[in-house]
């Protein structure tokens, strides 16, 4: 598994396409209402929104992420960094940010590589 992180609209998908040869049809959107984490797509983007949906349903994001990796161990996961900036007033938003942070740390430990994309440029973290 590879983890690609970065701010919103920093060119993460374009980076994955150019550096890993992933075609547009090989991506699946984890933010879509019909996203099923058992699909064996090579690349899953907007994973942070899937975590948000799990938080809203009060489901365990770490457990669901483990299940995804069991089904698709070679997946490239793309997610936005959401922990920077002003701390949200709403408790649910803070809980979501915490869940994204915990899942990101879990994924980084398990990942073959971790890259942070800034302005379309990749910086290898691991």
Q: Does residue 114 lie within any of the structural domains? A: yes
Q: Using DSSP bridges, classify how beta strands 113-118 and 121-124 pair: parallel, antiparallel or unpaired.
A: antiparallel
* pLDDT number for residue 124: 97
Q: Mean pLDDT across the chain, nearest whole number?
A: 94
Q: Does residue 46 lie within any of the structural domains? A: yes
Which range of residues forms the domain containing residue 34? 2-81+91-124
Q: Does residue 86 lie within any of the structural domains? A: no
86 — pLDDT class (breaks 50, 70, 90): confident
Q: Does residue 24 lie within any of the structural domains? A: yes
Q: Does residue 107 lie within any of the structural domains? A: yes
Task: Answer yes or no: is pLDDT of 113 > 90.
Answer: yes
* pLDDT number for residue 115: 98
Helices and strands (H and E) in the chain: how many: 4, 6
Farthest-apart Cα atoms in the chain, separation: 41
Q: Chain-centre distance of CA 117, in angstroms?
A: 13
Q: What average pLDDT does range 25-54 have in this prediction?
A: 90
84 — pLDDT class (breaks 50, 70, 90): confident
Residue (of 68, 53, 67) closest to 99 by Cα position: 53
Counting the structural domains of the chain, the total is 1
CATH code for position 96: 3.40.50.300
pTM higher than 0.95 = no
Q: Does residue 61 lie within any of the structural domains? A: yes
95 — pLDDT class (breaks 50, 70, 90): very high
Q: Does residue 59 lie within any of the structural domains? A: yes
Q: What is the pLDDT of residues 41-72, one digit of tens each?
A: 999 999 999 999 999 999 999 999 999 999 99
């Amino acid at each position: 598994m590879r983890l690609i992180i970065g701010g919103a609209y920093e060119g993460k998908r374009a980076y994955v396409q150019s550096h890993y040869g992933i075609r547009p049809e090989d991506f699946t959107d984890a933010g879509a209402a019909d996203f099923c984490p058992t699909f064996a797509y090579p690349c899953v983007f907007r994973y942070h929104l899937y975590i948000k949906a799990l938080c809203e349903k009060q489901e365990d994001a770490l457990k669901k992420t483990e299940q995804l990796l069991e089904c698709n161990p070679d997946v490239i996961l793309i997610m936005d960094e959401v922990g920077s900036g002003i701390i949200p007033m709403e408790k649910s938003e803070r809980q979501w940010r915490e869940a994204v942070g915990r899942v990101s740390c879990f994924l980084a430990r398990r990942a073959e590589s971790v890259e942070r994309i800034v302005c379309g440029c990749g910086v290898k973290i691991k």
